[in-house]
Amino acid sequence: MTLPRHIAVIMDGNGRWAEARGLPRSSGHQHGLEPVRMCIRRCRHYGIEALTVYAFSSENWRRPSAEVSGLMNLFFDALESDTGSLLENGVRLRFIGDRDSLEPALRARMAESEQRTAANHQLSFQVAVSYGGRNDLMRAARTLAERCVRGELRSEQIDEAAVAGEVSLAGLPEPDLFIRTGGEQRISNFLLWNIAYSELYFTDTLWPDFDEAAFDAALQQFATRQRRFGLTGAQVVGSQAGQH
Q: Per CB under 6 A, does 39 bind ligand IPE?
A: no
Q: Which of 12, 14, 136, 194 is catalytic?
A: 12
| Other beta carbons within 10 Å of 89 | 15
Q: What are the distances in angstroms from CA 140 to CA 93, 164, 178, 188, 195?
A: 22, 8, 22, 19, 16
- Nearest alpha-carbon partner for 210 in 84, 62, 83, 41: 41
Smallest gap from residue 129 Cβ to ligand IPE (A): 9
Q: Report the C-alpha gap between 144 and 165 in whole angstroms.
A: 10
Among 13, 70, 97, 133, binds ligand IPE (CB under 6 A): 13
Helices then strands (H, E): number in the chain? 9, 6
**Region 172-191 residues binding ligand IPE, contact defined as CB under 6 A:** 182, 184, 186, 188
Q: Is 12 assigned a catalytic role?
A: yes
Tell me how many residues contact ligand IPE (CB under 6 A).
17
Among 12, 136, 176, 199, binds Mg ion (CB under 5 A): 12
Q: CB–CB of 47/91 below 8 Å?
A: no
Binding mask 54-83 for ligand IPE (x = CB under 6 A): xxxx--x----------x------------
Q: In whole angstroms, how close is the CB of 12 to Mg ion at the nearest point?
A: 4
Query: Which is nearer to Mg ion, 12 or 176 (by Cβ)?
Result: 12
Outline where 47-176 has alpha helix (H).
65-88, 104-116, 133-149, 160-164
Whole-number CA gyration radius for the chain: 19
Residue 15 engages ligand IPE in binding (rule: CB under 6 A): yes
- SS3 of residue 94 by DSSP: strand
The reply on whether position 99 binds ligand IPE by CB under 6 A is: no
Instruction: Tell which positions 90-119 bind Mg ion, by CB under 5 A.
Output: none
Task: Name the site residues for ligand IPE (rule: CB under 6 A).
Answer: 10-16, 54-57, 60, 71, 182, 184, 186, 188
Q: Which residues are catalytic?
A: 12, 60
Task: Name the site residues for Mg ion (rule: CB under 5 A).
Answer: 12
